[in-house]
Every structure is written in C-alpha cells, then in structure tokens.
Structure 1
C-alpha cells in the first residue's frame, strides 16, 4: 500500500545561501521522514540558481510525495541558464552538483518556459537504489 499523497510544499523565496538550511528543514518537516537525498537535491537545485542565475534570484520550490516517489521542482526566471551535467575531475573544486543529483534521482530534467525554467527531479523516498529512466 502506498502512502497517501501529501499536499504540495510550495515555497516562494530568494535564492540565498543563508536560506538553504531553512529550506532543508522545511522539506524534512513536510515529508515527515528522513530524506537526505531529497534535501541534497533541493540544495543542489537552489545552489545552481545562486551560482548560475544570481544570488537573490526569486525562485519557487515545490516538493510533492505521491506513489512512493518525491518530485522536487525549482523554478527560476532565466530560460537561458540551463543545467549541464559535468564530469568533474578529482582536482576540480566545483561541477559535482548535478552529478550528485544524477546519482540519487530516478530521473531529472529541465522544462523551459517563456520567462524561465523548471528544473526537476524524482526520487524514491525510501532510499532504494535509483534506476535511471531518462
């Protein structure tokens, strides 16, 4: 039996480094269970907005749990700054965020729209091994 779907957690916020710990807590409180992989994905998606679109950018974060999965979506107002999966070398000091997300998510992607984009990912909440479905 699957857990019942929870209402969507929807947060409108500014993408600031200082906002990330509160965002992680809000996600954990919303899901009501340990969810380190979900928190990692939310952190990486908002961190990408901070690094590639700009600190203080308004974002909308949505988290919903249904059918044994969790979907995370982060909207930002820049349709041009698309995420790219990099393969960082051991000496690189950055470039691992999407690789981490790719490792823990079942699937992820980008949905551009006229005035921005949504970067999303889906995970199994119980920590089962991901099976990539791109």
Structure 2
C-alpha cells in the first residue's frame, strides 16, 4: 500500500493562470500562441487546436458585440478533468447568443462553433463583469494526472514501488519527487538489463527494440 500512496504524488501540477489584454484582432494570434505554450507545458497537446479555436471565437465575440479596445482577460484552469477557458469583459448587457448561421454567412457563427467543439459552455454575470466560458474534455483520469495511457500508468505504478524503496523508512510517502522518480526509472532500466543478461538475452538488442516501440508510440504508429 505504501507504493500505491507514494504514486499519488507523481503528478503534473496545472495551476490556474490569467492574462489581461485589450480586445483587438491583432491580440488573437498572441493569445493562441500563449495557449499553445501553456497547454504544451501541461501535457495537453491533443486539445491545443480546439482550445486555440475556442479562445479565438470567445475573444472575437467580445470584439464584435462589446467593442474594440475593451479591457478583457483570459483565464485558464482545470475544472476536474476538463480544461476551462474563460473570457472576462466588463459589459453585462451584451450576452452571447447561439446563432446557427448558414454556411455562406460571414458572421454569427462564433458561439455556434464553440457549442459544436466544446463539451459545455455558458455565461456567468457578476456585478462588474461578464464571464463567457467553455470546457474541453482532456482524457485525464485526474486533474493533475498524465495523458500517457496504459504505458504511463504501468510505469508510474512501478516507479512508485522503486521510489518507495529509495526513501528512508521514516520518510512520508509525499516526499517522492520527480527527481527521485527519475532515479527510480534509471534503477528500473538497469535492473531489467541485468535480468536480460542473466537469462541469456542481449540487453543492447532489447534497448534497440524498446527505442523502436517508444518512437512508434510517440508518432502514434503501431510498432
């Protein structure tokens, strides 16, 4: 049970952040770049494109319906296992509307697009501002978990056991850090290589095959 509790500390913190800006068309590209950077840091590469599109449409909605030069802010956080994107503006009267514009329409499709690609969205009114928000599913098992699938889950379980073995007996499970986990990973690899050699296998060949599998998985290809 010690290993199971230790592994809970091997997580990726995703702290909320916000950014103040002026609602201008030229700001959208910068906001999209910032979103890509933060989501990459958070390990949420799979939803970067959708998140960028949501930011573009939410900001465009402020520009169109509240006005150019409006003091606005973007806030991004985790809502459980969902990514939450909020755009704050000071006009509580201009509420977003869901307009299903025709394919040949030049406008009015912003919130309809958000409605189509986000898992949920809405508007919150406060005394001094309006918050238009949307949420995107991340596929995470927990808000501070990893998007690595079964391979990462198995590795974390194993590293939890190895990391626990490296800690002093009096140390609390929460003291397992990423640095300790990295050393545990090196121990795992070294032990497996010793096991392979002890059973008459070629460690170098095994490493080469593992590298091929890793690179294929990283590219989304079945090796």
Question: Which TM-score applies when normalising by structure 2?
Answer: 0.53
Instruction: Pick one of 12, 15, 24 that aligns with 1:4.
Output: 12
Q: Which has the higher contact order (CA 8 A, sep 6+)?
A: 1
Partner of 1:56: 69
Alignment pair present for 1:107 and 2:115? no
Moved more, 17-26 or 32-41: 32-41
Aligned residues: 125
Higher normalized helix content (fraction of residues): 2
Q: Deviations over 1:40-69 (max 9, x none)?
A: 111101110011101110111011135432
Please tell me whether Structure 1 or Structure 2 has the larger radius of gyration of its CA atoms.
2
**Aligned counterparts of 1:98 and 1:78: Cα–Cα separation in 2:** 17
Partner of 2:111: 98
Query: After the TM superposition, which residues 1-134 of structure 1 pair with which residues of structure 2 at under 5 Å, given as runs?
Result: 4-32=12-40, 33-34=45-46, 35-65=48-78, 67-125=80-138
Structure 1 unmatched runs, 5+ = 127-134
DSSP-derived class of the 2:98 partner? coil
CA RMSD, 1 decimal: 1.6
Question: Which TM-score applies when normalising by structure 1?
Answer: 0.86
Structure 2 unmatched runs, 5+ = 1-7, 140-223
Moved more, 75-84 or 28-37: 28-37
Higher normalized strand content (fraction of residues): 1
**Aligned counterparts of 1:69 and 1:4: Cα–Cα separation in 2:** 15
**Aligned counterparts of 1:24 and 1:115: Cα–Cα separation in 2:** 26
